[in-house]
Amino acid sequence: MDQTLTGKVALVTGGTRGIGAAIARELSDQGADVAISYASSTQKAAALVHEIEAKGRRSAAFKADAADTGQVKKLIADVVSTFGRLDILVNNAGLFHYGLVTTDAHEDDLDDLYAVNTDAVLTGIREAGRVMGEGGRIISMSSGLSTRTGAVGLADYSASKAAIDGFTRGAARDLGKRGITVNVIGTGPVNTEMNPEDGPISDWLKGESAVGRYARVDEISAAVAFLASPRASYITGSVMMVDGGIAA
C-alpha cells in the first residue's frame, strides 16, 4: 500500500462508527497516526484505538461534545499536546434533523443541530488553521443537501451544511498562502447503521441516485484520503461531491 501519509497526524471527529470509523481506518492504512473524538461511545473508541495501534500507528481517543465550542477548542489543543502536531483535520461529527419550516421545532434540537453541524466545524477549522503548518489538510463532511434538498422538511439541515460550504471557500483563501488546503466532501446516502440501505426511505434515496444505490463507507473514506494526500495539494476551496450523481 502506498502510505502517502506516513509521519502525519490526523484527527477525525465523531470517529467511532460509520463513516468516521472508516475514515480513521483509511488514514491509518495510509500511514497516519490518528486521533478520534467521540461523545459517548467509550468502548467503541477504545476498540478502534487498539485496532489502529495494532497497525503500528499511534492513536488516541478524546471525549468531546461537538455542541460545545469550548470542548472543540480543547480537543484541538489536546491532540497537539499528545501528538506534537496536527496535519489533517476531518470534521465528521454531525446530526440530522427533519421538520417543516412551518412546524414548531423543539428549540433545543435546532440549537444542537447548528451547534454540531455548523459551529463545531467552523471552530475546528479556525483552531486547526492556527496550529497547522505547510501541507495541512482540512476536510469537512457535508451533504449534497447543502445545494439541493429534493424533498420537504430539510431546510434546517440543509442550511447547517450549506454554511460549511461557504466558510470553506473563505477559509481556503485565508489559509492558502500557508500551504493549507480546505475542502468539503458532499455525500449522498451512505450505508451505515444510522441510514441503512434497507431503511424506510432507502428506495426513494436510491431512486434519486444516478447509480441507483447507497455508497459504501470505504468509497467515502477513499475520497477523504485523496484530499488528505500530497496529490491533492492544488485542490482547495472545493466541494467534492461523492453522492452517486444525485446532484447531477
Kindly indicate the confidence band of residue 18, based on its pLDDT and cuts at 50, 70 and 90: very high
58 pLDDT higher than 70 = yes
| Least confidently predicted of 9-18, 31-40, 107-116, 222-231 | 107-116
- pLDDT of the residue at 156: 80
**Domains along the chain with CATH numbers:** 9-242 (3.40.50.720)
Q: Is position 234 annotated as part of the catalytic site?
A: no
Phi, psi (deg, nearest 5) at residue 242: -120, 70
- pLDDT of res. 232: 97
Q: pLDDT class for 146, splitting at 50, 70, 90?
A: low
Query: What pLDDT was estimated at residue 145?
Result: 59
- 162-200 confidence digits (pLDDT tens): 899 999 999 999 999 999 999 999 998 888 887 788 877
- Report how far residue 135's alpha carbon sits from residue 138's, in angstroms, rounded to the nearest whole number: 10
Instruction: Identify the CA nearest to 19 among candidates 222, 237, 167.
Output: 222
pLDDT at residue 115 is higher than 60: yes
Cα–Cα distance list, 48 to 59, 123, 226 (Å): 9, 25, 22
Residue 130's pLDDT band (cuts 50, 70, 90):
very high
Q: What is the pTM of this model?
A: 0.93
- How many CA atoms does the CB half-sphere of 74 hold within 13 Å? 10
CA distance 88 to 69: 19
Q: Which residue has the higher pLDDT, 159 or 23?
A: 23
Confidence of residue 40 (pLDDT cuts 50, 70, 90): confident
Q: Which of 38, 114, 157, 214 is catalytic?
A: 157
Give, in order, the Cα–Cα distances in Å from 163 to each of 102, 125, 171, 227, 242. Answer: 22, 13, 12, 20, 18
* Mean pLDDT within 46-68: 96
| 168, 173, 175, 176 alpha-carbon torsion, rounded to 10° | 120
Residue where the block lists cell 439541493: 148
